[in-house]
Every structure is written in C-alpha cells, then in structure tokens.
Amino acid sequence: MPLNHDVIGVESEPVEKSWTSKDTLLYAVGVGAGLDDPAEELAFTTENSAGMRQRVLPTFAVLAAQGGGGRELGDFDRAMLVHAEQGFELHRPLPPAGSVRITSKVTGIYDKGSGALVVSEALAVDPETSEPMITSRSSLFIRGEGGFGGSRGPAAEWKSHDWPPDHQVTYRTRPEQALIYRLSGDRNPLHSDPAFAARAGFPRPILHGLCTYGVTGRALLHTLADSDPARFAAMSGRFSAPVFPGESLTVSMWVDGDTAMFRAAKDDGTVVIDRGTVRLNQ
C-alpha cells in the first residue's frame, strides 16, 4: 500500500501533554548526563542538590513536542523507517514539570528514489496562554517507499568547513544507553530486540537517533552556552549513520557569532549527525 499523500498540510487535532520532574531527570540520564562524573551535571540529574535548582536539557523539547495526533501515513514495514532529520526552536526554557498543547502536520512527502522522506512540523504552546513554547521539525526516511515520481524536495543549505573546528569534545555512551533512553517513551524494538534489529539489517540494536541527538545537545550546551538552557535557542541536524550503544561521540563546532555549525562523529571518523546548526541567545 503506498503512502497516503492526502495527509500533507492537514493539521491534527490539539493534544495536551504533560511531564513531571521525574521525566526530565530520566531523560537527562538517558542521554548520558553524569556518566563520566556524577557530580558534573547535578542541575539536570537531581532535584534536591544543595545550592541549585533543577533545570531541563534543551533537547527534551523534542520529546515534549511529540504526540500531536494525525491521519495515518499508510501501511508500510516499520523496520524500514529511520529518523532522518530533527530540529527544534525553544521559544522559552522548559520547566522541570509542565504541560503543552500540541498540533502537528505533515508538510511534505518527497521521493528520494530508494525511499520516501516524510517531513513534519509540530507546534507546542502553553495550554493556558497559547503562547508558543516549542516548534519542532522532523523528517522520517522510509526505505522502499520511493519511486512514486514525486519531488525530491528542497536542497538543504549548509556551509561545509575545511578548517579545524573552534571546539571539539568527546562524550561516551553506555553499553545499556538505549535501554535507559527507551524509558523516556520510544519503545521501538530496533533499539532493544536483536531479532528486530537483524530484520532491519543491523548486527545488534542501535542507539535511538534522538539519544545521539541528546548527547550531542549536551556537548553543545556545555561548550557553547555555559551550561545555561536559557541561552540555547535552536538546534537542527541530519542523522547520517547509526550509533551502537557504548560508542563515543566527538562533536566538532565551528562558531560564527550567535550561531555555530557542528558535526558528531564516532571514533572511526564516521559522521553520525551532519549539517548541524545551533543558535544561541546572548
């Protein structure tokens, strides 16, 4: 059954979503906060440490803005679906516990030949005031669903760099990182079930793309924004290769005023998040 192109541009019904302090703490641990030094990121991993208040990692915005209902894309093999791109804009820092009202829509389905790229956008607003809190944009690549003769989509603009980065940091992940991260809501067996991962063509379960994204976001936050979520305005990137739990990520950053370009790569040089952009508030 082909993908349902009638969903393009159809806004979902509003959905309310809430989170607790426990959810934001679990998310922080799920993306590796405190791994090398448990005392290093206590503002994000504890709610009762002396002299500090709990804060929320900016990349939690992606999870907070998920959940807008919509029409079905069609019948396809879920093992052929991978997260291709993710971006978000924070209109204000997120509280440790809170709620949003979410609407979402598919903005395009593009023909990439070997598969289809499904692009979506979600807006999360304050349920009481309707003020924007998060704008989230994501793309899913579905292998085997291309070749329908549609547009390939707009070309993304990103300035490549052939000079050394201004900053470069390396963060580890845990061998059981995916088992922790999945508790934040993404129970896709691709990240836990060896048999399901094998059917998708992987030798073992892979790390969630959004976990890789969150680890990278921590590197950007601590290196470029002095660990202050209020300075973190927006982040986007393209997932270019899988990461296996236990592998390390090196994030390279090229700074240009209040923006920076970045890439995340594994120890062997394989780029796993490409065409990255982060924007900071002064």
pLDDT tens per residue, range 202-232: 999 999 999 999 999 999 999 999 999 999 9
Exposed e or buried b per residue across 44-53, where buried means at least 16 C-beta atoms within 10 angstroms of its C-beta: bbbeeeeeee
The residue annotated as part of the active site, out of 23, 83, 191, 208, is 191
**pLDDT of res. 178:** 98
- Residue 85 near residue 236, CB atoms below 8 Å: yes
191 is annotated as an active-site residue: yes
Q: 167 an active-site residue?
A: no
Number of residues assigned to the chain: 282
For the record, the structure tokens of 227 come out as 């660990």
What would the 3-class secondary structure string for 99-165 be?
A: EEEEEEEEEEEEECCCEEEEEEEEEEECCCCCCEEEEEEEEEEEECCCCCCCCCCCCCCCCCCCCCC
DSSP, collapsed to helix, strand or coil, labels residue 52 as: coil
Burial category of 199 from C-beta neighbours within 10 Å (exposed 0-12, middle 13-18, buried 19 and up): middle
User: pLDDT digits over 96-141, tens only?
Assistant: 999 999 999 999 889 888 888 999 999 999 999 999 999 999 998 8
pTM recorded for the entire structure: 0.92
Each residue's pLDDT tens digit, 147-200: 787 777 777 677 767 899 999 999 999 999 999 999 999 999 999 999 999 988
Return the higher-pLDDT residue of 73 and 121.
121
- Tell me the average pLDDT across 15-19: 96
Count up the domains in the chain and report the number: 1
Tens digit of each residue's pLDDT (9 = 90 or more) over 246-275: 999 999 999 999 999 999 999 999 999 999
Token pair of 18, please? Answer: 């809430």
What's the CA dihedral at 42, 178, 263, 256 to 10 degrees? -30
CA distances 48 to 31, 55, 80, 171, 222, Å, are 20, 11, 43, 26, 21
d(CA 135, CA 122): 6
Q: Which domain holds residue 119?
A: 5-280
Kindly name the residue from 37, 91, 167, 186 that is annotated as catalytic. Answer: 186
Domain containing residue 271: CATH number: 3.10.129.10
Please state, rounded to an integer, the average pLDDT across all residues of the chain.
Answer: 92
